[in-house]
Structure formats: structure tokens, C-alpha cells
Chain A
Amino acid sequence: MSSVEAVVTSADADDGHAVAELVGVSKSYAGGVAALRSVDMVVEYGELLAIVGPSGSGKSTMLNLIGTLDRPSSGTVCIDGFDVATLSDRQLSALRSRRIGFVFQQFHLAAGRDALGNVADGLLYTGAGRRDREQRAEAALTRVGLGKRLTHRPYQLSGGERQRVAIARAVAGDPPLLLADEPTGNLDSVAGGGVMELLHELHQSGTTILVITHDREIADSLPRQVQMRDGQVV
């Protein structure tokens, strides 16, 4: 496995941009807690990788920075070629709406909306019309194997199915980057295995997927692992 430094060099060399590129990124919170210390990392298009580490290692901070939900204290974060530091909050929102899909441990599904509605609402901020959103949502749900569960509310679905809905929501807009934060954390091993299988399938069809997990076993099942400890990549 190539070192992080080598990755950076290669990205610079081929004169293109990576889907996510972190150079010398540090993040410290009020009170002087340093969550990240000078992290360098590159995620190329089409990768499936894990950021793995124990709690407190800074992997959630990595998710927030790569997901442009937060800005680094120092260093450069580039997502799909855009330097986050130069973008306004509005532009970051637009970036997230079309280029990043999120999958959360707690699913974050709207209880009052059925599966189709939940996925379609994920496209609300892309500017697509309602009909278009629903068509793409149906396609995404079919893709994750829930084509027959369109009108089910979250409480009528199993945990694994809920996470599939959340994944459908994240990929419905075909973002270049899918961020999955502990996607199996709230699932039993069978449902978790199913979700990981789905992520592999999506990866096979070309989606770049970054999984954040504390679970070594899950991390080892992915082509690439970035290990974190005490705010640094090891």
C-alpha cells in the first residue's frame, strides 16, 4: 500500500484533481482540543476506502471536513477540485447538494415520509422538479433493492432497509463522492453485511465511497484503509 505522501505527489504530478484532497489539514476546537494534526490525504475518483480508527481519533472530524460541513483551522481541503476555503457558505451548500452524498449511522429519515418521499426530498436542494425527483428516487430505491418498498414509512422498515433508503437518498443525485459515517453501526451483523455488500455494488458501478468506521473488520473488507490515531493518519 502506498504511503499518503506518495499519493499527494502522484496527484500533483498528473495535473488533474482528486475527488477529495487534504493538504496539511489541522482542526482544533475551542478549548484547544486538536482533533486533527496536519493530515494529508487524497481520495481519487472511483475509490472505495475506509477511514478507520478508535473513537477520538479524529475520523468524525475528517468526515465533517471532507463533507464540507466544517472548515479546517489550517491547511487546504479540496473537494471535486474546489478549494473549500475560497467558497462561501452558500457555495458550500451548493457543493454538497450536487457533489456529496451522506449516509449516517442514525439514518436520519423523516418519520412522516415514505421511502420514496425521503429519497426524493434528498434532491430538494438540487433544483430538480418534483416529478423528476420522484423518478430519480424510484430509480435509486430500485438500485438499492427496495423497489417494492416505495410507500413504506421508516417505522415499517427494518434497520437494514432504513439504511438502504438512506443510501438511496445519498446516491439518488449521482454525487461524485459518497460519505458513509458508521453505516453499519446501528445494525446487526446480517443487516450490516447487506449494507456493506450494497456499498461494494455501488462502488463497482463507479461511485466513489468513503466509509468511516471504528470496525477493523469492515475496514479490512475494503480495498484501501486510512488509519487514524490521535488526529493523525498512521
Chain B
Amino acid sequence: MSRPNAPGLIDARRRGTSPGDRKRAREALRPARLRTSDLIRLGGYGLRLRPLRAVLSALGIAIGIAAMIAVVGISASSHADLDRELAKLGTNMLTVSPGKTMFGEQATLPDESVAMIKRIGPVQSATATGVVGTAHAYRNDRIPAAQTGGLSVVAAKLDLLDTVGAELSRGVWLNEATDRYPTVVLGATAAERLGTGPTVYIGGRSWVVVGVLQKVALASELDTSVITGWPAATTYLAFDGHPTTVYTRSVESQVEAVRAVLGATADPSAPSEVDVSRPSEVLSLRRATNATFTSMLLGLGSVALLVGGIGVANTMVISVLERRSEIGLRRSLGATKGQIRTQFVAESLLLSLIGGAAGALMGYLVTGSYALTQGWPTVVPPWVLAGGVGATVAIGAIAGLYPAIRASRLAPTEALAAA
């Protein structure tokens, strides 16, 4: 029979294994690179084969990322709120109160302590309140004496409001005239408990309510106080005149220096019987107690992320098993082992990135809605978003690598026979 001769039969290349042939083979048989756009499409193609499975395994990653971002975001939002609050309140307030004597009795501050503290250079203002231990406030004269409602009667200097940063919610503050007569200003909590009557009953007489305070963040003890003028307390309630809390404001940069001398200035004869504290620190510490809770949630988040990663790996392993004939076909079409490997790693990366992006969005929304209910600003630090993306990519790569290597090692003939 006659066999047709094709053009190109006489060719420079010849069968053989000389070094020259090998070089020619190297040049002629260089596999083409897969373009990035093609690679992304290949990854997406695999996911579209089994959309539900892709969604479910991306969900694992999403929950992990969402949990971590929400935890960090909520804590950051809380801190942002605290910072905002402190910026408003100022962190330069120090309070002085009597501690215990050597014998464990309640100490007292000297009457002159406020005047002495005012003489410390960087101190901008100082004022005092004194608890009237012998008197209690009642709604009216019908209330049994034991029902004090947890409120205390406190005598205050007129400059209290400016120093502690308190504001009135209604009425007026005491003045030079009213602080000599039976008039009171109620703390916010005290006002709730004593009702909205025009008078309250203290020490056997009615006192006129002239004003009510808003909540005081840096001096929350005032919230449960019924505040009278200093002279009035002395006149009507047998107040001993000893200050029980001295509030000071100092130059911001000198707060620590003032703090160091405050005890000795307030009571030079017994500096050790004086307690000095910085309410803004107390406020910070109260928020900081949430740290253990935060790290526990972070731990839970990373467990969720780990489980999500295992889910992705599982999906990829199954995908490789199911798609053996596709792998065989691609090998027959000229895909190298490396290209098969890259395809499955790309698929895994895409899967976890989708999960990560959804998780970041969910985490942001959770943070936002929680912050909204708390009245906080929504803050999600950029580093946590970057960390989330980084973790996602790492998980995708690790989870996809083993299945991808398995896919690439499949012998083409075996893979094709699997169909």
C-alpha cells in the first residue's frame, strides 16, 4: 500500500539522543506558562462544580475569621470608647480619701487639707466632700429609718462640679445663699430612688431639692449621694467638717508628681493614713478585666479557623478523588504536574479567600452592631483585617498543598482510566 508523505517529513530534527538533540528538545518543548487570569478561572471552575460544598467549607473559614475579627473589633471599639470618654473627662483627676489608722480605725483628713493641697504648684483646683455619717435621706417622714436606700448624705464645697466634671440634668447647683439652708442636689441614682418630689427628708426636717446631677463617670460615688451645702450640713446635721474625699485636678504632665506629694500634703502628721487614687485608671482597669474573656474568645476563634482549614483540606481531597478523569484529561491536553498542582492550590486559596472575605464582612457587621447597641464607635483595626487575610491565605495554601500534590502525582493513564 502507499502511505502518503506529509510535508515536513524531511526535517532538521532527527531521532537520536545526541546533546544537540537534547538542546533542541529543551527549546522546542518548553511548557507554556499558565496566565494568572487563566489560573484564577481554573480555581473558580473547580468551585463551581460543587457550589454547595464550596459554600459549606468556606463557611468554616468564615466563622473563624468572623469570630476573631469581631472579638478584636469589639475590644478595640470598647477601648476607642474609653479613650473618647477619658479625653472628655480628663485623666488628670486625683482623689484623696482617709485610709485606716495604725490601729485599723477609720482615719480622718484634717479640715485644712483642701487649702493645703491647693498650694501644690501644679494643682489647678481642689475641692472636697464630706460624708455626714449620722444622717440619712428619705423620700418623706413616713419612711422607716432603716430604709436608707443605700444613699449617703454628703456635704460639698461649691466648686465641686467643675473639678469632678459633673453636669446637672435639671435644676440648679448650690450657691452661696442656698448652701446655708436646707437645700439639696441629688445624684442621678439618688434621684431615681427618692422620687421626683420637691423635698426630701433628712435629719428630722424637709430639705428642698434644687437640682439633680447627671451620672458622674470619674466620681461615681456622687451618683448615690444627696448633696448639701457645707455650712448647712454643719448647722442642721451636726456635720464634723472633716473632708472624706478631696478631688483635685492637676497639670496633665505633673499628675504623677502631684500624686507623690499628695498624701503628705493632705495630712502631714500621718501621710500613711491617706489613700490617693486616679479614677481614670480605675475606669481603664474595669475595662481591662475583660482581657481574659477576650483571649478566650480569640482562642475559640482560632479553633474555628483550624476546623475551617481542615474542612477546606477535606473538600480538596475529595475533589481530587472525584476529578481524577479531569486530571487525566488535562494531563493529556499537555498540563504539567506543576500546572495540575497550581490549579488545585489556586482552587483551595480561592475557597479560603472567599471564606475569609465573608468572615471579615461578618466580623465587621457583628462589631458594628454590638458597638451600636453600646453606643461605641465601630473600630476594626487594619492589622486584624490584614491578619485575617494572611491567616486565610496560609490556611488555603496549607490545606490545598497535600491534595494538590496528590493530584499532580497521579499517573495520566491511571487518571484517565478512572472515568
Q: Enumerate chain A interface residues (CB-CB to B < 8 A).
A: 1-2, 7, 14-19, 21, 44-47, 64, 67, 69-70, 76, 78, 81-83, 85-87, 89-98, 100, 102, 104, 106, 108, 110-113, 121-122, 124-130, 169, 176, 206, 208, 223-224
Contacts and interface: CB of A to CB of B under 8 A. Distances in A.
Interface in B26-46: 26, 28-35, 37-38, 42, 45
Contacts of B335: 93, 97, 124-125
18 contacts: A14-B9, A44-B4, A44-B6, A47-B4, A69-B331, A78-B15, A91-B31, A94-B29, A95-B29, A96-B331, A96-B332, A97-B31, A102-B332, A111-B49, A124-B38, A124-B333, A127-B33, A169-B333
A64 B413 contact: yes
Interface string B1-37: 1011111111101111100011001101111111101
A86 B9 contact: no
B35 A21 contact: no
Interface residues of B, number: 52
B329 interface: yes
Given A45-B5, A129-B35, 6 more contacts: A46-B6, A69-B413, A90-B337, A93-B334, A104-B419, A125-B330
Nearest to A96: B334
Nearest to B325: A108
A94 B26 CA distance: 10
Interface string B262-295: 0000000000000000000000000000000000
Nearest to B17: A86
A169 B329 CA distance: 11
A121 to B, nearest CB: 8
B162 interface: no
Interface of B: 1, 3-11, 13-17, 21-22, 25-26, 28-35, 37-38, 42, 45, 48-49, 325-326, 328-339, 411-413, 416, 419
A89 B326 contact: no
Contacts of A113: 45
B330 A69 contact: no
Contacts, number: 160
Contacts of A104: 329, 416, 419
6 tightest Cβ-Cβ pairs between the two chains A and B? A97-B334, A45-B6, A127-B32, A46-B6, A125-B334, A91-B29
A231 B358 CA distance: 57
Contacts of A100: 332
Contacts of A17: 9, 11, 13-15
B321 to A, nearest CB: 17
Contacts of A69: 331-332, 412-413, 416
Contacts of A15: 10, 14
A92 to B, nearest CB: 8
A7 B4 CA distance: 13
A64 to B, nearest CB: 5
Contact of A14 (B10, B15, B48, B330): B10
A91 B25 contact: yes
A7 B1 CA distance: 11
A153 to B, nearest CB: 13
Contacts of B332: 67, 69, 96, 100, 102
Nearest to A65: B413
B32 A94 contact: yes
